[in-house]
Amino acid sequence: MDLRYTPEQEAFRREARAWLERNVPKQPLHSFDTKQGFEEHREWEKKLHAGGFAMVPWPVEYGGRGADLLEWLVFEEEYYRAEAPGRVNQNGIFLLGPTLMEYGTPAQKARYLPKMASSDEVWAQGWSEPNAGSDMAAIQATAIREGDHYRIRGQKTWASRGAFAHWMFGLFRTDPESKRHQGLSFILVPLDLPGVLVRPIRKLNGKAAFAEVFFDGARVPAENLLGPEGDGWGVAMSTAGFERGLMLRSPARFQSTAEKLVALYRENAERCDASLRRRVVECWIAAEAYTLETYRTVSRLLAGGRIGAEASLNKIFWSELDLRMHEAALEILGWRGELLPEAELATGVGAWLDGYYFALAGPIYAGTNEIQRNVIAERLLGLPR
């Protein structure tokens, strides 16, 4: 792995940095867990798309600029450096998009990817169910083939962006007699169909970050099947690899948090316990280690490799690192860490409390870390079940 950037990559960095400096909103957008903020973020995504930065490693015909994954990492570094808005369509562009590239038909790629890149269509993820969280093999929602469509019944829950999204990708049991991993299919579902009910789930702060979605005989065209019928588990594991191992959590996200944590400590060092200094340094080192591991993964992919079970190692690492960084920040802030950013005495507090709430969910979403440790034990270490 050569850690030196090429002249072309450095030129791309300068181009991306200049564009972001001109275009990143001067004032923070409202949370995309509100209807107003959701639309504001969609407008930002459209601007990214118009500038050629919506999804840089995608082919040009699908809304990208034909760059490679190394240039994507460069762009992510500049994106977080500019403190640009969060990506409201991250389930689409970072998870479903790469899966479509791998499993989609030419017609499906042409239909979905350009509108995904521009956020004309925003996607929710439909895997979890009330009795099937990290154990996706326990999914019970059905999609029964009836001629040229599927009839869908059941429920999905904890659908990120589901309250306002236009589409959902999910796993459904197309063989009602099947068990566990068998008989599941990966299907793309419009959320405005008759027979689909979306009910928002609100976070502690009252914002509608998730949704539960009920299907009561909704008819979905059979052409919305992604990959072979009954082989949805294999397709979903590809998506999970992108979620846990690469696309969803770029290293720049954690480098940015680590740099802010270091700055926060320096501002408050005189009133901090001495042990906090070591914890802050360890967080910064861990963020750099995650960056190097990601570059190694990308180098392997560019050489023709694939993301495998080692994605579970990445998922545990970044989720627990994120939580450690935010815990350290709140200890540095002391009682002020309990303040919301808009509070009168919250000068210098920033968004650490909000980030901490989100970080608490990290060991749960994208497959709980307990499940990931089972994957590591069985598939990487060869331990018995």
Residue 254 exposure: Cα atoms within 13 Å on the Cβ side: 32
Residue 49 above 60 pLDDT? yes
Residue 117 lies in a domain: no
User: Do 316 and 362 lie in a common domain?
Assistant: yes
The label of the residue with tokens 């509100």 reads 34
Q: With contact defined as beta carbons under 8 Å apart, do 314 and 336 qualify? A: no
Q: Please state the domain count of the chain.
A: 3
pTM of the model: 0.84
Residue 246 above 70 pLDDT? no
Residue 20 lies in a domain: yes
Q: How far apart are CA 252 and CA 257, in angstroms?
A: 9
Which of the listed residues 45, 65, 88 is the one where a domain comes to its end?
88
Instruction: Identify the pLDDT of residue 1.
Output: 59
Burial track 139-160 (b if 16+ CB lie within 10 A, e otherwise) = bebbbeeeeebbbbbbbbbbbb
The three state secondary structure string of the chain is CCCCCCHHHHHHHHHHHHHHHHHCCCCCCCCCCCHHHHHHHHHHHHHHHHHCCCCCCCCHHHCCCCCCHHHHHHHHHHHHHCCCCCCCCHHHHHHHHHHHHHHCCHHHHHHHHHHHHCCCCCEEEECCECCECCCHHHCCCEEEEECCEEEEEEEECCCCCCCCCCEEEEEEECCCCCCCCCCEEEEEEECCCCCEEEEEECCCCCCCCEEEEEEEEEEEEHHHEECCCCEHHHHHHHHHHHHHHCCCCCHHHHHHHHHHHHHHHHHHHHHCCCHHHHHHHHHHHHHHHHHHHHHHHHHHHHCCCCCCCCHHHHHHHHHHHHHHHHHHHHHHHHHHHHCCCCCCCCCCCCCHHHHHHHHHHCCCCCCCHHHHHHHHHHHHCCCCC
| Least confident stretch, 29-38, 126-135, 371-380 | 126-135
The CATH code of the domain that includes 227 is 2.40.110.10
Among residues 122, 121, 117, the alpha carbon closest in space to that of 50 is found at 117
CA distances, 298 to each of 3, 4, 292, 301, 302 (Å) = 12, 14, 10, 5, 6
User: Do 285 and 173 lie in a common domain?
Assistant: no
User: Do 193 and 273 lie in a common domain?
Assistant: no
User: Do 280 and 350 lie in a common domain?
Assistant: yes
Tokens of 347: 């000068």
User: Do 148 and 226 lie in a common domain?
Assistant: yes
Residue 238 lies in a domain: no
Q: What is the largest CA-CA distance in the chain?
A: 71
Which of the listed residues 37, 69, 88 is the one where a domain comes to its end?
88
Question: Which amino acid, 82?
Answer: A
> What would the mean pLDDT of 271-288 be, rounded to a whole number?
93
User: Do 253 and 371 lie in a common domain?
Assistant: yes
For residue range 197-236, what is the model confidence (pLDDT) as tens digits? 999 998 777 788 889 999 999 999 999 999 999 888 888 8
Percent of the chain with pLDDT over 70: 97
Residue 171 above 70 pLDDT? yes
Q: What are φ and ψ of residue 266, in 5° steps? A: -60, -35
Which of the listed residues 231, 258, 288 is the one where a domain comes to its end?
231
- Among the options 71, 76, 78, 243, which is catalytic? 243
The CATH code of the domain that includes 327 is 1.20.140.10
Instruction: Identify the pLDDT of residue 78.
Output: 96
Residue 339 above 60 pLDDT? yes
User: Do 257 and 357 lie in a common domain?
Assistant: yes
Residue 115 lies in a domain: no
Instruction: Identify the pLDDT of residue 2.
Output: 64
Give me the domain span that covers residue 361.
Answer: 249-380
User: Do 310 and 349 lie in a common domain?
Assistant: yes
Torsion of CA 23, 39, 161, 352, to 10 degrees: 50
User: Do 368 and 254 lie in a common domain?
Assistant: yes
Top pLDDT among 255 and 378 is at 255
User: Do 365 and 254 lie in a common domain?
Assistant: yes
Highest mean pLDDT among 56-65, 204-213, 244-253, 310-319: 56-65
Instruction: Identify the pLDDT of residue 5.
Output: 86
> What would the mean pLDDT of 34-55 be, rounded to a whole number?
93
Residue 114 lies in a domain: no
Residue 42 lies in a domain: yes
User: Helix 251-268 to helix 275-302 angle, to the nearest 10 degrees?
Assistant: 160
Question: Does the active-site annotation cover 293?
Answer: no
User: Do 286 and 312 lie in a common domain?
Assistant: yes
Residue 109 above 90 pLDDT? yes
Please count the other Cβ atoms lying within 10 Å of the Cβ belonging to residue 266: 12
Residue 54 lies in a domain: yes
User: Do 349 and 269 lie in a common domain?
Assistant: yes
| Least confident stretch, 62-76, 136-150, 232-246, 361-375 | 232-246
Residue 16 lies in a domain: yes
Residue 298 above 80 pLDDT? yes
Q: How far apart are CA 371 and CA 135, in angstroms?
A: 8
